[in-house]
A and B are shown apart, each in its own frame.
Chain A
Amino acid sequence: MTMPNPPDILTITIRKRPWWFWVLGGLWVLLEVLFLQTALASARESEHRAAAIGWILVAVFGAAGVLVWFLQGRSRGRAR
């Protein structure tokens, strides 16, 4: 077993995320906070269905955001 020789030149590429990514990310955080607050406040106001939908939105929207973040990172890796 012989270790392969390291390349003579190692290239590290740092790509800046596009501006719209940060706008969408900010919007995602705002909506997550809004849905979370809706879920908590609706429960306090005995609006149980609204609270349940609020929790569902928090979960679905949160998972979708994490998924997009993850997939975007992978696609950037492949591009390199």
Chain B
Amino acid sequence: MQGVDRNNNVERECKQTGRRAFLKAAGLIAAGGAPVGASALERGTSGNERKRAWWVKAVERPTLGEKTADFKRFSGDNIFVIYRQLKAQREGAGSFEAEQTAKAKRLAGWMREKKPGFRLPDHQLSEGAWTLMQTTEPGAGLLSWTRISVRTPAELGVERHTAPPEEMAQTVKAAARLYGAGLVGIAPMNEAYVNLRQQKKDIVLEDADVPAVTDTKFVIPRKMKWVVAMAIPMDLDLLSRAPTSLGDAATGLGYSHSAFAVASLAEFIRGLGYQAIPSVNDTALSVPFAVEAGIGELSRLNKLVTPEFGPAVRLCKVFTDLPMACDKPVDFGLVEFCKKCKKCAEACPSRALSFDDEPSFKTRGPWNNPGHKAWFEDSYKCFRYWQKVDNGCGICLASCPYTKGSQAWIHSVVKATAAVTPAADGFFRIMDNAFGYGRRHDPEQWWTKDPPPGPRG
């Protein structure tokens, strides 16, 4: 349980450092006024400006993800790299390249024959949605580790912004929501979640003043003890057309919005006089930070599921030295629901998701980071299916009973009941099927639907 203890230490640091930093900035320690300020600062939660439902309970520890001493920093190799290597090992040299050639031919054929969901407009809608994300690169451009264009307080001739950690957290969250975050939370920095390498360079944490990207390494200053975790909602109307190019457009749009959100928030924080490192899928694992920030719980998908948007979100984060009050993990009965539901595992065409009743420590390949409890997935099978259906899949995200629109009240009633009465979980799973949720919507209807496509579907 070494990992857990380390987390607790970091969390204490998050609260205490935040308080200390503010008091120091406000001159209260020197003036002997610390006790006055301290009483208001020891709550340890940042006060979400988005009021969550009563059945989303804050808890001390995440409901899933229990760690052992084996938990170490992840290599940083993503499934794209791992799949290529494994494919060559399992099916012979050149098999990956042959698969890509066949995929390109198949896709061109679908476009020519105007296969629904894979016509040229469908494909290019997806390409357009990915545009912003495709321009990003860790440490450069939108994801620059140093300021892009914002003027610092010093340049403006003012002091950097200071406020109590709770107020600072609310300020940052308000900005994050404006930039596109559907959910936002603050978690303490945990070095164990930072990848070992990216772009053939080491990622190191050093006692530096500013983040840096050199020819050999990415440097994260140790003073960056706070992580702003964000969930960007995906377009459900597009996602419900997965696995097609339209479904992939939902993913691309989520990523592009993520890139915009973290870049904008990082600039905002720099503009307040602090350091910030924007990150989408790069640099560190997003899911554990999002779990610790109380955005959602780890699920059977081995992905985050939020109470509000289900798993239909893209995660991103900003590391910073701006002192803020941290949020707590949440429990809304998801783990118990996942044990009985298994709808995602049944819906997965590649049988990549776990059917086990209970989560375990048993990983299924080098894409999984060992040393924590989860329902581990077979990403090789998942990615191999991607090669058959244009660029991505997304069926598991669309099929989850928590992936629902926000308009029907009955969904809130069901989620609330599931949170407090796990005995009803099996019934809700049956009713979810009976009501036809999670079934693929007709791709062709998307272009002519009424009301027409727009922000947030």
Write the residues of chain A forming the contact surface with B, with a CB cutoff of 8 angstroms.
34-35, 37-38, 41-42, 44-50, 53
Q: Check A37–B436 contact: CB distance below 8 A.
A: no
Closest 5 A/B residue pairs (Cβ): A49-B436, A41-B408, A41-B407, A45-B405, A50-B435
Question: What is the CB-to-nearest-CB distance from B234 to chain A, in angstroms, rounded to a whole number?
Answer: 15
CB closest residue in chain A, given B432: A50
Q: Does B81 contact A (CB under 8 A)?
A: no
Report which of A38, A44, A46, A49 forms a contact with B410, defined as CB distance below 8 A.
A38
* Contact for A45 among B408, B413, B434, B439, CB less than 8 A: B408
Knowing A53-B434, A53-B435, the reply to whether A47 touches B410 (Cβ < 8 A) is: no
CB distance from B249 to the nearest CB of A (A): 16
Instruction: Flag whether B409 is at the interface (Cβ < 8 A).
Output: yes
Q: Classify the interface of chain B: helix, strand, loop or mixed.
A: loop
Determine whether the beta carbon of A49 is less than 8 Å from that of B435. Answer: yes
Tell me which of B237, B409, B435, B437 has the highest count of chain A C-beta atoms within 10 A of its own C-beta: B435
Report whether B449 and A47 are in contact in the complex, using a CB–CB cutoff of 8 Å.
Answer: no
Residues of chain B whose beta carbon lies under 8 Å from any beta carbon of chain A:
236-237, 240, 405, 407-410, 413, 434-437, 439, 441, 449
Structural contact, B409 and A47, CB atoms closer than 8 A: no
B413, A41: Cβ atoms under 8 Å?
A: no
Q: Nearest residue in B to A33 (C-beta to C-beta)?
A: B409
For the complex formed, measure the closest distance between the CB of A26 and the CB atoms of chain B, giving whole angstroms. Answer: 16
24 A–B contacts, CB within 8 A, in A order: A34-B409, A34-B413, A35-B410, A37-B409, A38-B408, A38-B409, A41-B405, A41-B407, A41-B408, A41-B409, A42-B408, A42-B435, A45-B236, A45-B405, A45-B408, A46-B441, A46-B449, A47-B408, A47-B435, A47-B436, A49-B436, A50-B435, A50-B437, A53-B434
Question: Is A44 in contact with B413, judged by CB distance below 8 angstroms?
Answer: no
A45 to chain B, nearest CB (A): 4
Interface centre among A41, A48, A53, by most chain B C-beta atoms within 10 angstroms, is A41
B4 to chain A, nearest CB (A): 41
Of chain B, the residue at the smallest CB distance from A53 is B435
Q: How far is the CB of B405 from chain A (nearest CB, A)?
A: 4
Neighbouring A residues of B441 by C-beta, 8 Å: 46
Complexed CA–CA distance, A42 and B434 (Å): 14
Chain A residue numbers with a CB within 8 Å of B405 are 41, 45, 47
**Apart from A48-B436, A49-B436: 12 A-B pairs, beta carbons within 8 A:** A34-B413, A37-B408, A37-B409, A41-B408, A46-B240, A46-B441, A47-B408, A47-B436, A47-B437, A50-B435, A53-B434, A53-B435
Min CB distance, B413 to chain A, in Å?
Answer: 7
| Chain B residue nearest in CB terms to A35 | B410
**Min C-beta distance of A37 to chain B, whole Å:** 5
A34 vs B410: C-alpha distance when bound (angstroms): 7
Q: Which of A42, A46, A48 contacts B237 (CB 8 A)?
A: A46
For B409, the chain A residues whose CB sits under 8 A away are 34, 37-38, 41
Q: Max chain B CB contacts within 10 Å: which of A35, A41, A47, A48?
A: A47
Separation of A53 and B433 alpha carbons in the complex (Å):
12
- For residue A48, give the distance in angstroms from its CB to the closest CB of chain B: 8
B435 touches A37 (CB 8 A): no
